[in-house]
Structure 1
Amino acid sequence: MREGIDYRPRRAAERVNDAMSDTRVIVLNGARQVGKSTLAEKVLREHGGVARLLDECTTRAAAAADPSAFVRHDGLMLIDEVQRVPDLWLEIKHVVDHDQRPGQFLLTGSARLLALRSLPDALPGRSETVELWPFSQGEIEGTPDGFVDAAFAEGAGLRAGTGELRKKDYLARACRGGYPEALRRESPRRRARFFNDYLADLIARDVKQVADIERAGDMRKLMSLLAAQTTGLLSFNRLSNDLEVTAPTARRYVEILETIYLVRTVPAWSANATTRALATPKVFFVDSGIAAHLGAGEGPLLENFVLGELARQLTWSETFASLHHYRDRDQYEVDAVLEDNTGRVIGIEVKAAESVRADDFRGLRLLQRRLGDRFLAGFVLYSGEHSESFGDGMTCLPISALWTC
């Protein structure tokens, strides 16, 4: 068991345990080295069962040689890194089609399993996928991590305690990131070594698992290019020129980085009331420490940091909402747009400054005018200390409100 004295509880654990009571197959998915195996083994110890680790050569060979015998078991079976033997997928499907008991399989993987072409079939109606991200700030600090739910529940009335952090503190947190190994390394120089080795390992192992890439050096260059434009509009034509590949190839490369959980694209948001909206997505890194290591500038890095915290919360919040961004041809923009299942919208702007001006709400007020009652509240998250109302549903909050509310 990998749990030790520095083990931090994960919010994903509650979702896994809930799924164990009513779902046949639970898929724990996420980036390499975010703690999937540690969490999975903790669940296994609590529920009992057997573990099969496909990182082990002999175990992997046995799974490939006789998938049917490999998945035969009583109780719960943990299969770690299940994407390494795609033939197991159909055998698992066969087992749970004939035995509908919940909590039979807990599968972990370091890529978006259902996006892999090598997997023969999905498990609709039989499985639940739980995403595990690098640590959130609330998981690190032991604080609520409840901004998304609080924003939809309280709207513009949401307030946070006085923020004790300033711009330099937020930048330090963004540069640290949330990988467990990075958190254990107090020296920035030692963290940089971890990030460098991590990226090299991704290219050498994970990229090759999901795609046949002849020019592996293109992937490292692409990572640096994406860091240079993190949280900006994603131009595949510009990437194709810089990489000297076609635009479809550049798009495929970005999709590979999404599949292995290095980056996440944020779709553009639009509605009939905002017909001048652009349809271009933007991109951010799943871990802000990687973005910093690759050279992201201060402003984009803090926005990446905030988008990452929001995306983490959406995996466990009681509110079912999706993350978008907004930009139109008149240069109005909103960094993050959260829309829940009923169509209510929360708009969020991120400012690195330690003060806020009325003009910082320009994009938020545009959305409010066009959406009317659908627009619940607009927030500017900034590096200052106070929560203040700017009238008509607009509020500024310290960035730390993300994890202290």
Structure 2
Amino acid sequence: MRRRDDRAVRPVNAETLRERAREFLSKNDPSGMDRLDFLRARFDAGLAWVHFPEGLGGFGAARELQTVVEAELEAAGAPDNDPRRIGIGLGMAAPTILAFGTDEQKQRLLRPLWTGEEVWCQLFSEPGAGSDLAAAGTRAVREGDGWRVTGQKVWTSSAHTARWGILLARTDPDLPKHAGLSYFVLDMTDPGVEVRPLRQITGEAEFNEVFMTQAWVPDSNRLGEVGEGWRVAQTTLMNERIAIGGRPTPREGGMVGAVAGTWRANPDRRTPELHDRLVDLWVRAEALRLAGIRLRQQLAVGSPGPEGSAMKLTFARLAQELSGFEVELLAEDGLRYDDWTLRRPDLVDFNGREAGYRYLRAKGNSIEGGTSEVLRNIIAERVLGLPAEPRVDTKVPWKDLPR
């Protein structure tokens, strides 16, 4: 009788993961391997995201044990998968595929998503359905073994570089708005898909609008059942808010680090009043960082809930207050912003830019990933248990709603 691998029956804890990471590195020297080959091998070894199931980049371990693997790989000088560039895929698409995808979809989509070979975007918001996402009107009409999709999406990050898009579309306009939606994976290279840049206040076109004209989606690219799109989308949205507001950062990382650097570099501009305000902002940023750690610990033992909305809401407000403080500190120098070139960046970098850019770009934080107004409603109703706002359109067929 063939003996089972002793490791297969051992519990996956920090020590076993550390051993597996070291064993992997002994066979895959990052200094002598092609970057993409290394990332593919890491996924296949189960060291990509340890909380995912075996065969899908993980070991079914606790989420927080990922830090053990990252520490070993970082010490060995191993390349990462550039997570900021593929944040939508990692933070939003992957958890949704894991929760609702078929085995074939998981096997086909998750590996190139994690390695960064295929960039993802999110096709949710529309010109007439942003805060009220359930009112989305992009139509998906059944045709043979697939669907023809026609409509417009807006504020789509990474659409200009994306291979795939997670798409919410209306498959039955005769049902109420929440019930007539379905969720698809759209091939962004389909000839029926057109991506146009949206120039922002910063001068960049980080976002896009996407037009779909009879774009083809095979039914095998549907996530969840027909009409189950709103339920599937909730998984995406809950993970999105954690991905934006609860991502791990070191102490004095992110916006507060950039502003603290400006403070240290300009001793002549300091006043006692500004000092007290910066200390208050720094303490709030640290409290938010620690709350993010706690939220991720809770996430390790369950699915994300409405608490992520509070993280994202606080993140947006604090980023805007910090960037406003920095402009005030620099006075007239804070108003200078010279780079109005129409660029289409792959990611947002608050640290590598001037104060004027940070101030302008932070305005979008209260819109992207759910507007602050909607997040306050979610917190009030689902966290605090306050009475829900009156809603008169939830039982009316979507086609009968005024638009």
Query: Normalised by the size of structure 2, how large is the TM-score?
Result: 0.24
Greater relative CO, 1 or 2 (CA 8 Å, sep 6+): 1
Query: Normalised by the size of structure 1, how large is the TM-score?
Result: 0.24
